[in-house]
Amino acid sequence: MRKSVFFTVFFLLFNFMIFSDINFKFYLKKEGLTSAGIYNEEYHLIKVLWTQEKLKKGWHTVTWNGKDNFGREVEKGEYIFKIVVNNSKYENVGIIGNTGDPPDELNHIQSNVVGFDIDEEGNIYTANDWEEAGHDFKVFNPEGKTIYHARFQMRNLKYYNSMTSAITVDEEYIYCAGWNGWDQGRPGHIVITKFKKGDGRYIGFSDEEIKKNGGVIVLYKWDKRDFPENLNPYEKRLYTVVVCGLTVVDDFLYVTDAFSNKIHIFNKHTGKKIKEFDIKFPVNIRKDKDKRLWIAHEHHKVSIFDKNGNRIATPIEDIDEVRSIFISKENLLYVSDIGKGEVKIYEIDGDKVSYLRSFGQKAKTGDYLPDRFYVLNGAGVDNNGNIITFSGFPTGGARISKFSSEGKCLLDHFSLVFCNIGTYPPWEPKELITTNFHKVLLKNKEKGEWEYRGIVLNPESLKYKGWHIGIPKFIKINNKEFFYFGCRIYRKEGDFFKLVSMVGGPKINLDGSFDKNKRNFGLWTWTDTNLNGEIEEDEIKWFKRSGESMLLTEVYGMHPDNMGNILFGDSAITKSIWELPLAEFDKNGNPIYDWEKAKIIIPEDKSEYKFLPKAVMRNGNGELYALGTSKYIQPPDKGYQWIWMGGWVLSKYDKNGERKWIIPLPNTCTGFDLIPENKGVMIGYFEKGYIYHYTPDGLLIGTIKIGDKAGNITGWLDNQSCISVVRDKRDKKLDVFVEDSYLNRFIWYRVDDSDIKTYEKTIIKE
Provide the Cα torsion 688, 689, 691, 692; round to 10°: 30
pLDDT in tens, 276-328: 999 999 999 999 999 999 999 999 999 999 999 999 999 999 999 999 999 99
pLDDT reported for residue 467 = 60
* Strands of the 282-287 sheet, one edge to the other: 282-287, 293-297, 301-305, 311-316
8 A C-beta contact, residue 412 and residue 370: yes
Q: For residues 106-119, give the mean pLDDT.
A: 96
Q: Where are the domains of the chain?
A: 2-88, 418-765
Provide the Cα torsion 44, 50, 54, 60; round to 10°: -80
Q: For residues 195-200, give the mean pLDDT.
A: 97
pLDDT above 70 as % of the chain? 96
Pairing of strands 372-373, 361-362: parallel
Q: Give pairs for 426-431: CB < 8 Å, separation 24+.
A: 426/474, 426/676, 426/726, 426/727, 426/729, 427/476, 427/729, 429/726, 429/728, 429/729, 429/730, 429/735
The CATH classification number of 418-765 equals: 2.120.10
pLDDT band at 20 (very low <50, low <70, confident <90, very high): low
8 A C-beta contact, residue 693 and residue 700: yes
Topology adopted by domain 2-88: Immunoglobulin-like (2.60.40)
pLDDT in tens, 506-536: 566 777 777 777 777 788 999 999 988 888 8
For 240-308, the DSSP string reads HH----EEEETTEEEEEETTTTEEEEEETTT--EEEEEE-SSEEEEEE-TT--EEEEETTTEEEEE-TT
Say yes or no to pLDDT of 657 above 80: yes
pLDDT in tens, 542-589: 998 877 888 888 888 899 999 999 999 999 899 999 999 999 999 999
Distance CA 352, CA 294 (A): 12
8 A C-beta contact, residue 739 and residue 420: yes
pLDDT reported for residue 712 = 95
Distance CA 323, CA 346 (A): 16
Question: Residue 106: CB partners within 8 Å, gap ≥ 6?
Answer: 146, 149
Say yes or no to pLDDT of 641 above 80: no
Within 13 A of 644's CA, how many CA atoms are on the CB side? 6
